[in-house]
Amino acid sequence: MPGAAPAVVVRDLDKSFTMPHEQVHTLKERALHPLRRIGADLFTALQDVSFEVERGEFFGIVGRNGSGKSTLLKCMAGIYSVDRGRVLVDGRLSTFIELGVGFNPDLAARDNAILNAIMLGLSKKAAEARYQRIIEFAELEDFQDLKIKNYSSGMLVRLAFSVLIQVDADVLLIDEVLAVGDASFQQKCYDQFNRLRDEGRTILFVTHDMGAVARFCDRALLLEHGRVKMIDAPERVGAEYFEVNFGRSGAVQEEGDEVVHRGDGSVEIADAWFEDGNGIRVDSLAHGEPCAFLAAIRCVEAVEDPSFSVLFETAEHQPVFGTSTTRDVERTGRFAAGEIVGFRVAFDNILSPGRYYASPFVSRRGGGDDVHVRVDRMTSVVVTGAATGGGLIDLPHDVRVERQPSAVPS
Amino acid sequence: MSAAPAKPPPSTLRPIRGPSALGGDASRFWTLAWTLAILEFRLKFFGSVLGYLWQLMRPLMLFGVLYVVFTEFVRIGGGVRFYPAVLLLGIVLYTFFSEVTGSAVTSVVNRENLVRKIHFPRLVIPLSVVLTSYLNLLLNLFAVAVFFVIAGVPVRLSWLEIVPLIIVLGLFCTGIAMGLSALFVRYRDVQPIWDVVLPVAFYGSPILYPIEALSNQAQWVQTLVMCNPLAVIVQQARHALIDPTAPTAAGAIGGATYLLIPLAVLVGVCALGFWIFNRSAPRIAEEI
């Protein structure tokens, strides 16, 4: 909705927490050491956060753990007081940091639903008037007099979500509530959110799930260390998110991963890395771009007709792709001692987003187990990109729906 | 062509305020406090098969034990008119006091999941504790009235004086509840400390013994005892409901002007309690 009035305005928000070095938990401790100053660290959770969300927008807030997403949401909801800055909202705002807040196990569904609705901002009268719709949407008419403690977790989630849907807020702040429930329930949730959005309501949504952000959000905000890193289309934010998470640091090898060289020692692999389409060594690769895997191999002794291979695996040790010089040439030639050989595998990157490991190895002619050298997981690369269909690879493809008029009975 | 629902024109932005003790509109405040209070009361009431009976049992058991001890063994109550009625009334009022303040201590921390996840005026929590106990007190007072009639206490118009008395008692309790519930968030030994204070309040008020029992002491002892607003209320209730010949609160403290002391205590406790609560309200969600 371009040009519409903003529904939410956040300006220059700062928030920090004091974390005392020593917790004073009792009055006794306080009384015993009345003069001792307790040192405290100031932890800055949010700094200079400003953004606007337009009415009818589905706005994602993403970031790593500890980047300040939830703190931002709580500041916007008025649960935390802010140190500086303002939050302005057009219309009624409801926060769903957890589904079914305040549910009491010893009360029946009816009382819980009404209490929850009142807590979320409805008047008592409105809550009672809407109760019928809540219980119908949750499909729990037969269980409304049952105490909540006897509910299954699925029933509980359905009830809580129905309340959320009926609360009728103009602006909804939602924190990962959709992490609960099965896939079909999540789909139902998103369908409802889309309906709410179509009605002109604004939804702000905190999550780690970049897939959900890409599918549902109009725009997204990326937080890093409490600062706004970028606000953009979800695909771009998703790509940047993977950068932030996996790229840049250069620390490709995770701690504890010891690189093990195996083989007869006649050949060494000096280095292995990935390059992007421009031939620049990188730690992350954009999905869909041309790229290459390279290894620098040094011959300690003279070797004849070795075959050079590489195997790509996922973090879960699932082989994704393997290739070798034996595919094209069996006899690679004779290499003298001390000679350095480059091995290069160029490909179009159709891997799904995620981290991939490369294990290069050099074996005697004919391959097999007779290995000159093999280095498992010598290097790795992160493939970035928001779109993921769930498989290991994303093939270049085309999706189409075709109607066949003749097949429709007239 | 779905008709877009009519939306208010733009520039209706309003600021979101941080958490506070009061805040928001008054009707939402009371709706919340009342809803929480009713649900809590119903949980106690319907929570067990005997429900309300158990609620009534506590003061009644205490009454039974004290009555036997202090009429049969120690004979403090021997000379007091309608001693059982005096004892029961005192116990019921004290039960209200101890119930409100005792359960208020942990109330905010117990409602942690609300405090950390929903924006609402924080004062609702201790207030709902007071309201729940009021409902209980009303039922207990009804039982007390039945007991009075059986015990032969004459029904008088001055019984109505109980209304302002329990309102003042409620104010006193609210003040303490606000202070304790906010302090407990930071200092967890508030609870054991308060558990020690409660019996002091019981024995420091003329519940077991009539205030006249102190007449052989110096006047200042009586005055000191009557500085406690709880003692003032218990004494005045005895005078108004049971025995017009018993000293009034003003009489017991040594003159109406001296009543300004417990009044000052009452106002001071309420102001201090509110100040503590109001000051910590914005950060309760972070510190819990």
Q: What pairs with residue A332 in β-bridges?
A: none
Out of A223-227, A252-256, B19-23, the most confident range is A223-227
Virtual CA dihedral for A145, A150, A154, A157, nearest 10 degrees? 60
Model confidence at A182: pLDDT above 50: yes
Q: Would you state the pLDDT for residue B154? A: 92
3-state helix, strand, coil in chain B (%, to 5): 75, 0, 25
pTM of the model: 0.73
Angstrom distance (rounded) from CA A274 to CA A279: 9
Angle at A338 (CA atoms; ends A334, A339), nearest 5 degrees: 50
State the best of B119, B132, B195 to mutate against chain A, taking most chain A CBs within 10 Å. B119
Kind of pairing between the strands at A219-224 and A58-63 = parallel
Q: How many CA atoms lie within 13 A of A384 on its CB side?
A: 20
pLDDT in tens, A42-62: 888 999 999 999 988 989 998
The answer to whether the beta carbons of residues A237 and A60 sit under 8 Å apart is: yes
> Looking at per-residue confidence, does B231 or B72 come out higher?
B231
Token pair 């041309």 in the structure block, residue: A290
> What element of type H or E holds A90?
strand A84-90
Please give the DSSP secondary-structure letter assigned to residue B205.
S
Closest CA to B266 of B186, B202, B194, B171: B171
Tell me which of A23-27, A131-135, A140-144, A287-291 is least confident.
A23-27
Q: How many CA atoms lie within 13 A of A388 on its CB side?
A: 20
Cα A276 to chain centroid, rounded: 24
pLDDT in tens, A91-150: 888 888 877 777 888 888 888 899 888 888 888 899 999 999 999 888 888 888 888 888
pLDDT in tens, A205-230: 888 777 778 777 889 999 988 999 99
Helix (H, G, I), strand (E, B) or coil at A209: coil
DSSP characters for A324-391?
A: EGGGT-S---EE-TT-EEEEEEEEE--BPSEEEEEEEEEE-TT-TT-EEEEETT-EEEEEE-S---SS
Token pair 């250069």 in the structure block, residue: A250
Across the range A15-25, mean pLDDT stands at 75
CB atoms within 10 A of CB A27: 15
CB pairs under 8 A between A and B: 115
Which chain B residues have a beta carbon less than 8 Å from that of A147?
none
State the best of A1, A13, A24, A26 to mutate against chain B, taking most chain B CBs within 10 Å. A26
Angstrom distance (rounded) from CA A198 to CA A192: 10
Angstrom distance (rounded) from CA A383 to CA A386: 10
Cβ–Cβ gap A200/B43 under 8 Å: no
Q: What pairs with residue A275 in β-bridges?
A: A281, A292
3-state SS, one letter per residue, for B73-132:
HCCCHHHCCCHHHHHHHHHHHHHHHHHHHHHHHCHHHHCHHHHCCCCCCCCHHHHHHHHH
Q: CB-CB: which of B5, B32, B113 is closest to A199?
A: B5
Burial (Cβ within 10 Å: 0-12, 13-18, ≥19) of residue B96: buried
Closest CA to A241 of A69, A46, A6: A69
Q: What is the ipTM of this complex?
A: 0.79
Q: Helices (H), strands (E): how many in chain B?
A: 13, 1
pLDDT in tens, B126-148: 999 999 999 999 989 998 999 99
Model confidence at B279: pLDDT above 60: yes
List residues in chain B touching A: CB distance below 8 A: 2, 4-5, 7-8, 10-19, 27-28, 31-32, 35-36, 39, 42-43, 47, 113-114, 116-120, 183, 186-190, 193, 282-283, 285-286
